[in-house]
Structure 1
């Protein structure tokens, strides 16, 4: 290849490197909640949804996607992903898979949770994806005040969560029916806690269900019943600040976990139990994956460490607990568009200068940090810039040789 062609090729490569340099870096954060929500956003399929693997086949995970949207609102970040996820949930081919086919089925918990999510997003719950979620929810309330499923299949999957979400959504829309609130309050166990499974022969209080009931009762102005439930919640807090799902007690390996603790921390904060809430937040932070790990920002289900099988839902519910804003007032208004990454300081490596009498010892090359300290600028652009400078130097060398070659030849003659 001629010198001219070589110079042209070098210049072209240098230009291509310059064009390929990323335009902007992901924002960084030191907030545990923002880092968790940012990690969560990056796990979404196509940036809009979660999927679940069942029998080797992937299915849309509506509930998990909604949990993420609520976490984004709580942390005030990942608004771009929240917009996409909300639009996906409203798609006509997606919506019936969650709330039920209007011809023959309707699920109370799904109607209630999605209506609440629409309210958090500033959407109209009476016209979400062309469906009036409020009217659909109200149609599922029986004479006793309980919200139940309608399905051609045997069994009713409505539970304490369904009832609490329904009261919260209807209270935000206007006022929850007194019968619905009375029914919820009446499900309390003698201990003060609330059950997940309703109308059972034995009332078994559960932390998750109690946390949801506390929020719903406070939203409806039933503070006396809520106070008893809060007292029971505080009694369930473990020494490490976390909470155990009561229904799982006795199973091998069951310990405090992020899901249950996240919901409990949120309820305790809403109820004004600051000390207990702070202790729970400390536990949640102890489960967050730190700098130096690929999954930095994620929150593990328990002290065993990060597992992709349960980290997304654990992170979603943990973020709610870290922030502490209740479902009755939660809003995505003002949320930042981007999904931030955990702000990790760069690692530094000291290289010893060899003496003139000794050869330097061979050793592994220093690892490059993934993020430069406190700048939020990924290392990749810096590496590209270094490559560009090297190529530019090569170009200058080629051109320089071309310029001075005739003079050197003349001198030799």
Structure 2
């Protein structure tokens, strides 16, 4: 989630080689399956993803959890999803990501809890931590989830939404104050901002895609649909959506999240258009073998610095359930390879 967390984990984890595709890997024509297979093959040591910073690779727990969601969305690479949570449950890795108790990061804790739920685990007992209790302890009187950190509060619409969705999946449900807080951040144009508590409300496409999912999950349908109407207004002719205010060049990350939100809000036409855009970014049989199945960030093509994160979020727009009901149950194992002549 932050560089400080990545560095802390890197100190305790030695890098190993990227897992290579097995000779017996199944082939597939399905875009989501091929994308998940490519993503699984990027795992270092078969259990996590890394991010390059200044020429040095660091374990990236947040990106690894994005892959867990992608695998569940496509319904395969189940063994890689399991290995990822086993890796994250190691005390050094987990505390480096969510904090050690004195340091406690709301977004990372919420994302971890949701990933555990998606994989059918118990978020009250993961790596020796009760993620639900930890997350609830970060709820402020205003209804905002905030970091407990000497480095400051880095929470935003993503951390708020993930916390609401994760807690809504528990027996107690999401705190009403947290849902009220998220709903009240809506801008006059119907969208939702990424920055919480800013003097000026500026709607953000990525934030709107996630906040609307949280509101739909908790029964705030009217505000969610207003948000989706704003998000749909930012969908360009080819189906893609740009980040920020939506006026720039469309990309796979934003479009993937938006496509997932459109499906959650029963907007099939918009979801289909988002999928069609994502398909234009696929690395197909004309690409080098090692790139096939991946999904580029935008129309400029395959970029090793952005393609892994782009693929994780693009998969959400191709297939699968919203975060509120996403599950890895019934998923297959292995890393499928794109079928080529």
Provide the TM-score with structure 2 as the length reference.
Answer: 0.91
Q: Look up the match of 2:281.
A: 287
Q: What's the RMSD between the two structures over aligned residues?
A: 1.4
> C-alpha displacement at 1:24, in angstroms?
5.8
Q: Secondary structure at the match of 1:59?
A: strand
Q: Secondary structure at the match of 2:51?
A: strand
Q: Deviations over 1:45-89 (max 9, x none)?
A: 011111122233322101110000110011111111111111001
What is the distance in 2 between the residues matched to 1:151 and 1:40?
A: 32
> C-alpha displacement at 1:334, in angstroms?
1.1
Q: Secondary structure at the match of 1:326?
A: coil
> Which structure would you say has the larger Rg?
1
Q: Secondary structure at the match of 1:53?
A: strand
Q: Deviations over 1:5-47 (max 9, x none)?
A: xxxxxxxxxxxxxxxxx99621011111111011000011011
> C-alpha displacement at 1:176, in angstroms?
0.5
The answer on whether the counterparts of 1:27 and 1:339 sit within 8 Å (CA) in structure 2 is: yes
The answer on whether the counterparts of 1:267 and 1:324 sit within 8 Å (CA) in structure 2 is: no
Q: Look up the match of 1:191.
A: 189
What is the distance in 2 between the residues matched to 1:285 and 1:338?
A: 22
Q: Look up the match of 1:118.
A: 116
The answer on whether the counterparts of 1:265 and 1:324 sit within 8 Å (CA) in structure 2 is: no
The answer on whether the counterparts of 2:34 and 2:337 sit within 8 Å (CA) in structure 1 is: yes
Q: Which runs of 5+ in 1 are unaligned?
A: 1-21, 347-413
Which moves more between the two structures, 189-198 or 286-295?
A: 286-295
The answer on whether the counterparts of 2:320 and 2:326 sit within 8 Å (CA) in structure 1 is: no
Q: Secondary structure at the match of 2:169?
A: helix
What is the distance in 2 between the residues matched to 1:119 and 1:247?
A: 32
Q: Secondary structure at the match of 2:294?
A: coil
Q: Look up the match of 1:59.
A: 58
The answer on whether the counterparts of 2:68 and 2:81 sit within 8 Å (CA) in structure 1 is: yes
Q: Look up the match of 1:127.
A: 125
What is the distance in 2 between the residues matched to 1:190 and 1:258?
A: 27
Q: Which runs of 5+ in 2 are unaligned?
A: 1-20
What is the distance in 2 between the residues matched to 1:195 and 1:284?
A: 24
Matched, 1:218 2:212: no
Q: Secondary structure at the match of 1:94?
A: helix
> C-alpha displacement at 1:248, in angstroms?
7.9
> C-alpha displacement at 1:292, in angstroms?
3.1
Q: Deviations over 1:74-106 (max 9, x none)?
A: 11111111111110011111001110122x210
The answer on whether the counterparts of 2:204 and 2:246 sit within 8 Å (CA) in structure 1 is: no
Q: Deviations over 1:106-157 (max 9, x none)?
A: 000011111000000111000011100000000000011100001012x310
Q: Secondary structure at the match of 2:52?
A: strand
The answer on whether the counterparts of 1:207 and 1:233 sit within 8 Å (CA) in structure 2 is: yes
Q: Look up the match of 2:242.
A: 244
The answer on whether the counterparts of 1:125 and 1:133 sit within 8 Å (CA) in structure 2 is: yes
Q: 1:117 to 1:23 in 2, by over 3 A?
A: closer
What is the distance in 1 between the residues matched to 2:306 and 2:194?
A: 21
- Aligned pairs, number: 318
Partner of residue 278 from structure 1, selected from 272, 278, 282: 272
Q: Look up the match of 1:310.
A: 306
